[in-house]
Chain A
Amino acid sequence: VNFQPNEVQRRARIASALLFLTFLFLAGSFFRTQILQHARYVLRSEFNRLREVPIPAARGIVYDRHGAIIAENIPGYTVSLFSPGPDSLREALRRLAGTIALPDDQIDAVVRRFRRNQNRPAVIFDDAPFTVVSVLEEHRVEFPGLIIQPTPKRFYPDGPVVAALSGYTGEINESELDSRTFAGYKPGQQVGKSGVEREYESRLHGREGVRFVEVDSRGRVVREAGARQDLPPVSAPPLHTNVDLDLQRFIVGLFGDSLVGGAVALEPGSGAVLALHSAPSFDPNRFIGSIPVDYWRALNSDPRKPLYNKALQGKYPPGSTWKLATAVIALETKVATLDDRMSVPCMGGYQYGNRWFRCHKKEGHGSLTLAQAIEQSCDAYFYQLGLKIGLTNLVAGGVSLGAGARTEIDLPSEMRSDFPTVPATAYFNRVAGPRGWSQGGEALNLAIGQGRNAQTVLNMARFYTALATDGAAARPRVARGPPVRERLFRLDSAQLAGLRAALAGVVSRGTAAASRIEGLLLAGKTGTAQNAQDPARDHAWFVGFAPANDPKIVVAVMLEFGGHGTRAARIASKIIAHYLKAAPRQLLSTEGDG
């Protein structure tokens, strides 16, 4: 070995220098991590230790026009579980299944939900029954990641009565989470699924609060409070609607359990939706949290389709209620006036080409003016009027009346009514083939509300608001707000008054005379619509308004396979009477209708 003192000193200097440099390097890398990259690692360490427990905000309370509650919140409980990963979550749920009923498919659903956002607790029950909560509270120590959170729960005091309007809420599903509409939503949250709840979701949702709990590396909750300042939830403001809950209840009562169909009551000037019902209904309260499987199956297997909104989505041939549209088109295109008579008087039908088109009154109405034809609902008159207007103008006029459009009501999933499009020739060539139709035949059918015409109950009500006012229809609105009106047709006030008088004549002398109301001038039109599904059973329509001289309410009632329109008229007149607080006169005799 070389142990010259100078050599040793040299090696000592080299060793010391190397030591010094090594420690400088170590200190430097600590400086970089601890000082320069501090913020990043602090964030990471907070993310490690804090878990967010969402505190759902109370949804906005939905009121009717008089302040009665349509939808509110009651106390409920959600049960959720923290877990460091899907596998340990599954394991914990299996253990939990030994304490409470937890089927395998629910465990799968919880794990799936958790995978989407692992920093939140996995929701096991959106709406835990109190029995489950009390059992879990007892066993809390055995499940250290368990969170039992008081949560406002949606409640509809009138249940099925308001279902067609209110819709219901439920847990956000996978496809909604992926959609842009629900950007920012997180798994496990409750969202509006239909009706007002869905339409005004952004207003009714409120802002979710967050409680921070501290967890350890195995997902056990170590500290429940004070880990960090909680963010309190912000309840949504109430939503005031135009709905008259009292009227809504009355309508639902009229439909009872036996009638199937839809009804809409609008305020003619503003378009305010006073009531909207689809029968049979369902109970939105049972949809909260998770829908009981048997209830869901029962709803879906019911041939009367309770989940299908018959006022918004159902499309039915409008029948004679459409004659007013034909009359409006005739007046607007100046093909006829209210006092004009057709060349061939009604003899129980009308011969067109080689075919006899029947009128509902076999013995015939004789010679009628347009006003009388409306009153008597004379088909023979309207056949000729349709031919005079011509198919092209019938279609164009119908389109400008909104026959093939949505009403743009503030409710989701409204269907577009079916009606030919402009230009008519191209439309019929497309749907029936160039040789499958004739100008005259289609015009005859369209003139009396048959043929290629299927309207939603709401769209018919909307058209009659134009008749009830000045020819402009207001967009139907459930929520309170300024009216949006759109002109459908231009008629002078004398023509409008004449049409209204004719409609009033329908109820006082004509087809709906049985539905007269004492001391009240009621205007409206019955319809008995043939339909392809069941030719033996017609759909019964009535669309009308009252008082005829100063309309306050427009009502459209449609009874699926309900038979003659007079049945719908009776219901409508009761609705109107109830709303206007007058008593309908009971009459037994009725007249036929086409």
Chain B
Amino acid sequence: VKRPRVADYPLVALALLLSAFGIAMVYSAGQTDVPTIVAGMWKRQLIWLGVGVLAAYFASRASSRLLDWMATPVFVGTCIVLLLLLFIGTGSGPAARTRSWLAIGGVKLGQPAELAKIAVVLMLAKVFAARKEAPKSLLDLWQPALVVGVPWLFIMAQPDLGTGLVFIGIFFAMLFWSGASWQLLVLVASPALSLVLAFGTPQLWGAWFLLFFALVLWYKPYVAEGVFIVVMNVVMGVVAPVAWEKLDPFQQRRFLAFLDPSADPQRAGYQLLQSQVAIGSGGWLGKGFTEGTQKRLAFLPERHTDFIFPVVGEELGFLGVTIALALFLVLFLRSVRVAARATHPFASLVAFGLVSIWFVHVLVNVGMTMNLMPIAGIPLPFFSYGGSFMLACWIAVGIEGRLSVEGRGKADMLAI
């Protein structure tokens, strides 16, 4: 009888490497010529890492059955906390007007939204796994939509556009992993796509609408659903822009400011430029650890949180960037493998949902620093300074590790 492995060591090693890399960058981000409060933050981040590893250990003690059992109460509790947050939440830093922080007696405990992501993944997995077949129609999706929609609404009301975006990413990733056809994915995504295209290039929206209409005819959903989805697309593609135009510019600004309180086009443009200057001036090998001038001289904003990746680019160059990206890729591929090796749908969906959280964060954060993505203000896993997210990431590592151990197949240490 083979003794079961106690942990997925490569997975843990990858997460530890990324965390070490990240804390080194938080340390470097604090090394400025005019010292700021950031200088000491790496120590706090180190403590959070310790807390995170401990949490991961406890998470890895929970079997997938326990997780399945816990999913509903955890989700309901999370929703209640998020709802409460709208009344008692406080802001922090540049987003001082938002209500994303849970504080008791003036002491900021953390951002519940980070842990809510895991709760949503667990609940979504439970809802999807309860079905015998893969979702085929829009009607099949009402439960998952509710699971994501409720906390999403609470989070958008904080408001926290970035985290809201992550929830949508999780939803699509898990819909895909549950076996939904690509046509259904496109249909679900179509109203949002229509909205983006209509505000971007209206001509492209026209082309898209024809294509979409052909897809609807081919996929043959229920008539009511088909009509509903087409109407939604028309509303998003035609009515929304017209309604937007009708709005007073003052109201438009109010609305945009509501969606993203830290939005300031001039400031955002400056941040993006400085971010690209930092990355671009790094070259092959960078300016040397802690030596980045963009960072040292404070040209780079938010260099310990959202814009920490440009510090990697500036100080460690293309080599450092490639190593960081490669570590992430290997971690993700291995996690996908965990999902593929899971013995039952719930475990598999949880494993895939957790990796989708990381993936959306990395893609949006890194893409943002290169001006490939809008500034959504979401942190980079294992790198950005922030306790709640570090904790959430390590709980996810613990769950992934446990699911990996539970999975079928041989104890393949090195395969990804």
Interface set of A (CB-CB < 8 Å, partner B)? 1-3, 7-9, 11-12, 15-16, 19-20, 22-23, 26-27, 29-31, 33-35, 37-38, 40-42, 44-45, 48-49, 214-218, 220, 222-223
Which one of B98-106, B146-154, B173-181 is at the interface? B173-181
Instruction: Known A12-B336, A15-B336, A22-B363; judge A48-B297 contact (CB<8 A).
Output: yes
Among B178, B318, B329, contact of A1 (Cβ-Cβ < 8 Å) = B178
Cα separation A11 to B134 with both chains bound (whole Å): 13
- Nearest to A35 among chain B residues (CB) is B318
Among A8, A23, A40, contact of B280 (Cβ-Cβ < 8 Å) = A40
Among A1, A2, A42, A220, contact of B34 (Cβ-Cβ < 8 Å) = A220
Do B283 and A3 touch (CB < 8 A)? no
Interchain residue pairs with CB less than 8 A apart (23): A2-B134, A2-B179, A3-B345, A8-B340, A11-B179, A11-B340, A12-B337, A16-B333, A23-B326, A26-B370, A27-B322, A30-B322, A33-B313, A34-B283, A38-B281, A44-B281, A45-B277, A48-B274, A49-B293, A214-B297, A216-B33, A216-B296, A217-B299
Cα separation A217 to B277 with both chains bound (whole Å): 13
B414 to chain A, nearest CB (A): 16
Q: Which residues of chain B have C-beta atoms less than 8 A from A35's C-beta? A: 283-284, 318
Q: Which residues of chain A have C-beta atoms less than 8 A from B337's C-beta? A: 12
Q: Which residues of chain A have C-beta atoms less than 8 A from B133's C-beta? A: 1-2
* Extra inter-chain contacts (13) besides given A27-B325, A35-B318, CB under 8 Å: A1-B131, A3-B179, A8-B348, A12-B337, A19-B336, A19-B359, A22-B363, A26-B363, A30-B370, A34-B317, A42-B283, A45-B277, A48-B299
Q: Which residues of chain B have C-beta atoms less than 8 A from A34's C-beta? A: 279-280, 282-284, 313, 317-318, 321
Interface size on B (CB < 8 Å)? 55
Cα separation A15 to B175 with both chains bound (whole Å): 13
* 8 A Cβ contacts from B282-339 to A: 282-284, 293-294, 296-299, 313, 317-318, 321-322, 325-326, 328-329, 332-333, 336-337, 339
Instruction: Known A8-B348, A11-B176; judge A29-B370 contact (CB<8 A).
Output: yes
Best-buried of B134, B274, B297, B299 by chain A (most CB within 10 Å)? B297
Instruction: Known A1-B179, A2-B133, A12-B340; judge A218-B281 contact (CB<8 A).
Output: no
B278 within 8 A of A: yes
Do A44 and B277 touch (CB < 8 A)? yes
Cα separation A219 to B328 with both chains bound (whole Å): 37
- Nearest to B319 among chain A residues (CB) is A34
Cα separation A23 to B179 with both chains bound (whole Å): 24
Among A7, A8, A30, A216, contact of B321 (Cβ-Cβ < 8 Å) = A30
* 8 A Cβ contacts from B361-375 to A: 363, 366-367, 370, 372
Cα separation A26 to B326 with both chains bound (whole Å): 11
B48 within 8 A of A: no
Do A222 and B297 touch (CB < 8 A)? yes
- Nearest to A19 among chain B residues (CB) is B332
Do B34 and A216 touch (CB < 8 A)? yes
Q: Which residues of chain A have C-beta atoms less than 8 A from B329's C-beta? A: 19-20, 23
Cα separation A31 to B279 with both chains bound (whole Å): 10
- Nearest to A36 among chain B residues (CB) is B280
Do A222 and B332 touch (CB < 8 A)? no
Do B340 and A49 touch (CB < 8 A)? no
- Nearest to B297 among chain A residues (CB) is A216
B129 within 8 A of A: yes
B276 within 8 A of A: yes
Closest 5 A/B residue pairs (Cβ): A41-B280, A2-B179, A12-B340, A45-B281, A216-B297
Do A45 and B298 touch (CB < 8 A)? no
Q: Which residues of chain B have C-beta atoms less than 8 A from A29's C-beta? A: 370, 372
- Nearest to B340 among chain A residues (CB) is A12
Cα separation A216 to B336 with both chains bound (whole Å): 44
Q: Which residues of chain B have C-beta atoms less than 8 A from A216's C-beta? A: 32-34, 296-299
Q: Which residues of chain B have C-beta atoms less than 8 A from A222's C-beta? A: 33-34, 297
Cα separation A27 to B313 with both chains bound (whole Å): 11
Interface set of B (CB-CB < 8 Å, partner A)? 32-34, 128-129, 131-134, 176-179, 274, 276-284, 293-294, 296-299, 313, 317-318, 321-322, 325-326, 328-329, 332-333, 336-337, 339-340, 344-345, 348-349, 352, 359, 363, 366-367, 370, 372
Cα separation A20 to B178 with both chains bound (whole Å): 21
Cα separation A35 to B293 with both chains bound (whole Å): 18
Cα separation A220 to B134 with both chains bound (whole Å): 61
Do B333 and A19 touch (CB < 8 A)? yes
- Nearest to B298 among chain A residues (CB) is A217
Q: Which residues of chain B have C-beta atoms less than 8 A from A217's C-beta? A: 297-299
Cα separation A29 to B279 with both chains bound (whole Å): 11
Do B178 and A48 touch (CB < 8 A)? no
Cα separation A40 to B281 with both chains bound (whole Å): 8
Cα separation A474 to B318 with both chains bound (whole Å): 71
Among B32, B321, B349, contact of A27 (Cβ-Cβ < 8 Å) = B321
Cα separation A222 to B131 with both chains bound (whole Å): 64
Do A1 and B317 touch (CB < 8 A)? no
B154 to chain A, nearest CB (A): 27
Among A8, A30, A37, A40, contact of B313 (Cβ-Cβ < 8 Å) = A30
Do B298 and A41 touch (CB < 8 A)? no
Best-buried of A1, A7, A33 by chain B (most CB within 10 Å)? A1
Q: Which residues of chain B have C-beta atoms less than 8 A from A37's C-beta? A: 280
B190 to chain A, nearest CB (A): 20
Do A23 and B325 touch (CB < 8 A)? yes
Q: Which residues of chain A have C-beta atoms less than 8 A from B349's C-beta? A: 1
- Nearest to A30 among chain B residues (CB) is B321
A24 to chain B, nearest CB (A): 9
- Nearest to A25 among chain B residues (CB) is B372
Q: Which residues of chain B have C-beta atoms less than 8 A from A214's C-beta? A: 33, 293, 297
Do B367 and A26 touch (CB < 8 A)? yes
Do B298 and A218 touch (CB < 8 A)? yes
Do A30 and B281 touch (CB < 8 A)? no
Cα separation A37 to B281 with both chains bound (whole Å): 9
- Nearest to A43 among chain B residues (CB) is B281
- Nearest to B339 among chain A residues (CB) is A12
B234 to chain A, nearest CB (A): 30
A387 to chain B, nearest CB (A): 82
Cα separation A9 to B179 with both chains bound (whole Å): 11
A505 to chain B, nearest CB (A): 83
A76 to chain B, nearest CB (A): 31
Q: Which residues of chain B have C-beta atoms less than 8 A from A27's C-beta? A: 321-322, 325
Q: Which residues of chain B have C-beta atoms less than 8 A from A220's C-beta? A: 34
Cα separation A299 to B325 with both chains bound (whole Å): 73
- Nearest to B366 among chain A residues (CB) is A26
Q: Which residues of chain A have C-beta atoms less than 8 A from B299's C-beta? A: 45, 48-49, 216-217
Q: Which residues of chain A have C-beta atoms less than 8 A from B297's C-beta? A: 48-49, 214-217, 222
Do A45 and B340 touch (CB < 8 A)? no
Cα separation A346 to B332 with both chains bound (whole Å): 121
Among A11, A16, A31, A223, contact of B177 (Cβ-Cβ < 8 Å) = A11
Q: Which residues of chain A have C-beta atoms less than 8 A from B276's C-beta? A: 33, 41
Q: Which residues of chain A have C-beta atoms less than 8 A from B280's C-beta? A: 33-34, 37-38, 40-42, 44-45
Q: Which residues of chain A have C-beta atoms less than 8 A from B293's C-beta? A: 45, 48-49, 214
Cα separation A234 to B148 with both chains bound (whole Å): 71
- Nearest to B182 among chain A residues (CB) is A14
Q: Which residues of chain B have C-beta atoms less than 8 A from A48's C-beta? A: 274, 277, 293-294, 297, 299
